[in-house]
Structure 1
């Protein structure tokens, strides 16, 4: 996830200070990916160093307000205009755990699969409930949250299907054809 580009996108609207950016990011993404306030300010420092944002001064309450520069606008325009690369898939901790579990003696991979399936199904239920409640409100402003929830639902459904496949492969290993 690109916090860098997300902050630039939020600064397109208007100047803000770090905590406002954090709250706005979480609001617009349905609080699905909490962001640490320290990460926000570290990213803002880097963006300023790179000439993509500038400090506008304090807001009267001591908060340093940041605005986007023309180079920052170009950067965020390019980000929105480019597809997310798929060449290097993100690390999947669960896939790594299962792959290593198969090669390390004494690891009950079946138990790992069962435990993860339970967690994933509960998450799927929570996402589905949240989506249903959000959709019932019928507010156009909730569209961004619905998109994020749909993404989480599809990813979690895929994970559960993949766990089913992993379990089937374990059974094949345990009971090879004669």
Structure 2
């Protein structure tokens, strides 16, 4: 997630101060990736350091406004014009967890997969329910747990719907991948069973213990 470019996109519409940027960022994403004011001001400080924004005065309440510079606008347009690179994909905790699980003795990997599938399906149901509400014009969620007004003329409703559909597609793909993982695990178990059976057949049976032959004792 590029907070940096998200803030530049908002500032391209006019000067804003930190809390406004936080509120508008969350409005466009349905609070999917909530920000705190500290993150916003830390990012603004870096943008100012890089010459992409400049202070633009204060209001009567002492709020510091920031405005985008020409260099900042150029970077924003370059971001919009360029595809998101896949050369360095973000770390995926689930993929890392399963990669570790299959290499650590004693981990019940099928149970890990099943637990994640239940969670992912529940999330998919929640996202689908939210999409239905969004399409029905019931508004979008806010960071405080409320619902924002719809059709406010900013395009935030469409932005939220696009984010929500991305989450749905991503979760559907995750469930399919978990199904694939389960198939892989079953195939590996079959291969290991077949190897074990083959090893048992190839191992020579232990030779029987030799019988002890001796004279039979006779009694007088």
TM-score range, shorter chain: over 0.9
Higher mean displacement: 29-38 or 157-166: 29-38
Cα distance in 2 for residues equivalent to 1:31 and 1:71: 29
1:2-151 paired onto structure 2 within 5 Å? 2-137=2-137, 139=151, 141=155, 142-151=157-166
Shift in Å, 1:120: 0.6
Equivalent residue for 1:153, pick from 150, 168, 175: 168
TM-score (norm 1): 0.95
Pairwise CA distance, 1:112: 1.2
**Residue aligned with 1:51, SS:** coil
Give RMSD over aligned pairs.
1.4
- Which ranges of structure 1 fall in alignment gaps of 5 or more residues? none
1:175 paired residue among 183, 186, 190: 190
Match of 2:202 in 1: none
Distance in 2 between the 1:8 and 1:89 partners? 23
**Matched residues, number:** 178
Runs of 4 or more above 6 Å deviation = none
Residue 66 of structure 1: how far off its partner (Å): 0.7
3-state SS in 2 of match to 1:57: strand
| Secondary structure of 2:136 counterpart | helix
Report the Cα distance in structure 1 between the residues aligned to 2:63 and 2:106, rounded to whole angstroms.
54
Distance (Å, rounded) in 1 between the aligned partners of 2:99 and 2:182? 13
Shift of 1:52: 0.5
Gap runs ≥5 in structure 2: 138-149, 195-220
In structure 2, distance between residues paired with 1:124 and 1:3: 25
